[in-house]
Structure 1
Amino acid sequence: MFQVRKAADRGHRQHGWLDTWHSFSFGDYHNPAAMGFHTLRVINDDRVAPGEGFGMHGHRDMEILTYVLEGELEHKDSLGHGEVLRPGEVQRMTAGRGIRHSEFNPSPTTPVHLYQIWLLPREPGLEPSYDQRPFPRADQHGRWRLIASPDGRDGSLTIQQDALLWATNLAPGDEVVAALDPQRAAWLQVLRGTVAVGDQELSPGDALAIENESALPVRASDDAELLLFDLP
């Protein structure tokens, strides 16, 4: 079963320095029909203006992944980490029993476009931790590249949940097929470009909720970038 979540149906907030779209209820956007999907709780599509960002704030009991499409994002946290996240790199933060961090666009001229993702953890009260590593886009061209997993396999980030996150970049005419477990669920998020799944055409910001399926064939109409979540 496929269910489309169109980009325009997401929650939208314009804060001047922040243009943000929420796939699921978040902040002052509340939609009882969009409280998450299985263990996937938040997908925020954010554009942060030059020289702006999120001041120091706290999280707990979430697995947080940050994926930058354009620009740079400077991260500092209460564990002592200070990094700059760029396209081709992914950040993972286990908030656990409590962590504080800030996220800032250090460029004076260029906006940063990022997706921030929250997954529910396997249990509350975990030890907070942080990791960031490169995932060159060339390694995910025309194939699904594993980005995050519960055991850190194949060089992926380790997350505290029985979920897998895959990424791919496709050229026009490329087709990839993901094998799915029909006893689990999946969520396909289009970051860039236009793709087709069967007779469904998906554009940037669109998503597909998937249940009771054993395969996901995706065909690109133009240059595209996608994320695929395999969820319990």
Structure 2
Amino acid sequence: MIRIQRAAERYPGGDPAAGIETRHALSFGPHYDPDNLRFGALLACNEERLAPGAGFDEHPHSHTEIVTWVVEGELTHHDTAGHTTVVRPGDLQRLSSAGGVRHVERNAAAVPLVFVQMWLAPLSPGGEPSYEVVRNLDGPYDLPEAGAKLHTHRLSAGAGIPVPEAGHVYVHVVRGSVRLDGEDLTPGDAARLTQPKGEELLATSDAEVLLWEMRAAL
């Protein structure tokens, strides 16, 4: 089964007056849909746009794997476990909030910041928080704590890749355009596949795509 969600169908959020614009793919905050609470391990897939100087003040997280992909600009991260980092385009940031951690996310640069932030449910709650940044990631990133793997693809026009045969697969288009099962997907569009069998993702222009491969049993 394949479900397409267009960019325009995302729930609006953030605080535009404070320079924060957010688009939620799944139920988030005041946007509650009992039929759109999660997909596999994925609890949130938020497109975030922060104006220079804007950001999220210190706030808590627990029992969540938080994976961030920077598209444009620079994200400054600080957390109460002692990590302070600047994350740039093509970098993947992962914060395992485990038993609890607080962090700050801010655009300290003079140019706009765009990033995609994805929250996943861990297989086991609790533990100690951990943090990692992978610079210039091009390929898969394993997240065994959530029974998931993130594939980052930069595709030339005409290139195709097979969709992994997994319990759940989530595709998010960052740049360019791709075709999946006869549907053309453009930036901000997403596809949710349940137990895919032999589907292919075809780039119809140069494209950047995030693809989550998740196990069936959660």
Q: Normalising by structure 2, what TM-score?
A: 0.93
* CA apart distance, 1:14: 5.2
| Total equivalences in the alignment | 213
Distance 1:223 1:204 in 2: 12
Aligned partners of 2:55, 2:14: CA distance in 1, in Å?
14
Percent of pairs with identical residues: 35
From 164, 181, 186, the equivalent of 1:203 is 186
Deviation at 1:217, TM superposition (A): 0.7
What value does the CA root-mean-square deviation take over the aligned residues? 1.3
Q: Deviations over 1:71-119 (max 9, x none)?
A: 00000000111000001211111101100000010112x1100001100
**Does residue 230 of structure 1 match 2:216?**
no
What is the identity, as a one-letter code, of the residue corresponding to 1:218? L
2:140 corresponds to: 146
Q: Extract unaligned runs of 5+ from structure 1.
A: 151-159
Which residue is 2:96 aligned to? Answer: 94
CA–CA separation in structure 2 for the residues paired with 1:149 and 1:124: 14
Q: Helix, strand or coil for the counterpart of 2:8?
A: helix
Give the secondary structure class of the aligned counterpart of 2:146.
Answer: coil
Confirm whether residue 176 of structure 1 aligns to residue 177 of structure 2. Answer: no
TM-score by structure 1 length? 0.88
For structure 2, list consecutive stretches of 5 or more residues without a partner in the other structure. none
Task: Output one character per residue of 1:182-201: Cα deviation in whole Å (capped at 9) or x when no partner.
Answer: xx111111111111013111
Q: 1:179 aligns to what SS in structure 2?
A: coil
Assess if the C-alpha contact under 8 Å between 2:164 and 2:213 holds in 1: no
Moved over 6 A (4+): none
Query: Which amino acid is the alignment partner of residue 222 of structure 1?
Result: S
- Whole-Å separation in 1 of the counterparts to 2:23 and 2:46: 6
Are the aligned partners of 1:135 and 1:147 in contact in 2 as well (CA < 8 Å)? no
Aligned residue number for residue 136 of structure 2: 135
**2:140 maps to amino acid:** L
How far does residue 148 in structure 1 lie from its aligned partner after superposition?
3.0
